[in-house]
């Protein structure tokens, strides 16, 4: 009589959700689709990478999906400058060809030409 070893079933391979490709690059000037502000991209997260509290504070009707690129912006509106974190679905290219007036720009970028900023050499990877 032979004894057969019990084999454990092979777990199914984990399938990662598709990740959207970033439409915007560091240095691009963009505008928010719904709110009146614009900014320059200084970092990109391939998917949402902020706190749950931040995400839950967005009204559900306009809350973006987490499975898309999110952009860190040096942003400006008519009243102030600030840092914004915005989903790809809420950004469009800014075609005004106007520079962004944000005090942190000089520390990250060298100049503004052809509607985009050039990253300083010391910040390039």
For position 125, what pLDDT does the model report?
72
CA distance 122 to 36: 32
Can you give the three-state secondary structure of the chain, one letter per residue? CCCCCCCCCCCCCCCCCCCCCCCCCCCEEEEECCCCCEEEEEEEECCCCCCHHHHHCCCHHHCCCCCCCEEEEEEECCCCEEEEEEEHHHEEECCCCCCCCCCCHHHHEEEEECCEEEECHHHCC
For residue range 36-72, list pLDDT tens digits in order: 999 999 999 999 999 999 999 999 999 999 999 999 9
Q: Residue 17 above 90 pLDDT?
A: no
Quick one: pLDDT at residue 28? 98
Does the pLDDT at position 20 exceed 80?
no
Domain assignments of the chain as residue spans, ordered by start: 29-123
The mean predicted confidence, pLDDT, of the chain is: 90
Q: In this predicted model, what pLDDT tens digit does every residue of 23-35 receive, in sequence order?
A: 999 999 999 999 9
* Residue at token pair 């720009």: 105
Q: Write down the pLDDT at residue 18.
A: 62
Query: Which range among 1-10, 49-58, 75-84, 112-121 shows the weakest confidence by mean pLDDT?
Result: 1-10
Give pLDDT tens digits for 73-110.
999 999 999 999 999 999 999 999 999 999 999 999 99
């Amino acid at each position: 009589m032979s004894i057969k070893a019990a084999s454990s079933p092979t777990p199914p391979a984990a399938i990662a959700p598709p990740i959207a490709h970033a439409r915007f690059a560091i240095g691009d000037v963009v505008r928010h689709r719904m709110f009146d502000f614009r900014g320059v991209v200084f970092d990109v997260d391939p998917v949402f990478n902020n706190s749950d509290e931040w995400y839950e504070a967005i009204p559900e009707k306009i809350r973006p999906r987490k499975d898309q690129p999110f952009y860190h912006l040096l942003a400006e509106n008519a009243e102030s400058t600030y840092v914004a974190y915005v989903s790809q679905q809420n950004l469009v290219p800014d075609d005004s060809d106007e520079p962004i007036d944000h005090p942190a720009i000089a520390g990250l970028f060298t100049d503004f030409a052809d509607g985009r900023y050039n990253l300083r050499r010391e910040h390039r990877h």
